[in-house]
Chain A
């Protein structure tokens, strides 16, 4: 039992858990309650970091897919798969938290505006990428085609980022990042909490990708060992 627990403990996991503790203290104790939306506004400190995680995911998928197409090295393909799987988890969190937040603030669970639609498309890109890998026969052809999907999928990322500013609707405009309007940027207290929470989720994202990468490596090793095992069994039979 102790070994199982120790196996789960990783410096990155410990770091993200510690940062998460700090972020939770800041979210629920330190930062003042927003006057217009009330307590539900604190979903922001969860929604924005997981959205950031899902965007990081597609960046890593496209970057490593590009590197795979260029270098033909298996490790880039493994990194792309690991990042896509973690990205789909973060994407699902982003959609779920956004929907739950929209219900008390907008009185609807979902609306077809640009920011939400493009975020949903990003989620579907992740799902399509993973489904393609699951159902296409294994081999270099699968890896190459999956890499092309991964690179093309990144086109959606800047559209999501700028959607609220390009098509001004219900979703608030950008509050962080290089394109954020100074008038809509968060105040210093809110910005500090958002930064702490984003850091915590970024480390959690890296830990999850790292763990998934190791699993993918073990799966590949297992396939190789099974081949070697059946080859040695056939040699023994002859």
Chain B
């Protein structure tokens, strides 16, 4: 009987630990890649919050803390690696530079607090096919419509010219 109780307690403990593990892993949100659309600073020019728009157009706002890590490149490709605690105003300047250049970044976060802000290394390849389709469909439709319009106009003009030539004799 004590063995049964021990086994039951072990099962409950294991189930609880798995549940806790799953709950804590749910706090780790998947990284978000996108374009910086907003940078907020305090009176001293130190970064307080920033916003990123992902490929679906959703805007995600992140707060930062002293441990937030940065790995951002300038236009020449020189990488700046630091933390918020070490260079609080530089982070704001770098993110504003990224916003002006539309340079994409990747943010890892938990509950809206950014842990790392780095240069985006790869995009979501599957999510933007709709834009590719839109470009080809809209523009080809316009081209064909214009070519058909010209063909029709030419035929009408030729018919009118032939009719007038007959009238004049």
Contact = CB atoms under 8 A, between A and B. Distances in A.
Contact of A222 (B34, B104, B139, B164): B164
Interface stretch (A36-44, A69-77, A147-155): A36-44
Contact of B57 (A38, A46, A107): A107
Interface in B108-152: 120, 122-129, 131-132, 134-136, 138-139, 142-143, 146-148, 150-151
Contacts of A133: none
Given A37-B123, A104-B55, A215-B154, A170 B142 contact: no
A111 B99 CA distance: 12
Interface residues of A, number: 48
A33 B126 CA distance: 11
B167 interface: yes
A228 B168 contact: yes
Contacts of A93: 139, 142-143
A182 to B, nearest CB: 15
Given A40-B128, A225-B168, A170 B101 contact: yes
Contact of A8 (B138, B151, B157): B151
B164 to A, nearest CB: 4
A211 B128 contact: no
B37 interface: yes
Interface stretch (A54-62, A95-103, A137-145, A158-166): A95-103
B35 interface: yes
Contact-residue bracket for chain B: 35 or more
A226 B164 contact: yes
A204 interface: yes
A107 B102 contact: yes
B75 interface: yes
Given A8-B148, A100-B134, A225-B164, 11 more contacts: A33-B125, A38-B123, A39-B129, A43-B132, A96-B135, A208-B146, A211-B151, A211-B154, A225-B161, A225-B168, A228-B168
19 contacts: A7-B155, A38-B123, A38-B125, A40-B132, A43-B131, A43-B132, A46-B136, A47-B135, A92-B142, A97-B135, A103-B57, A107-B57, A168-B75, A211-B150, A214-B154, A215-B153, A219-B157, A221-B161, A228-B164
Q: Which 10 A-B pairs have the closest CB atoms?
A: A38-B125, A106-B102, A107-B35, A107-B53, A40-B128, A218-B157, A170-B102, A225-B164, A104-B128, A8-B151
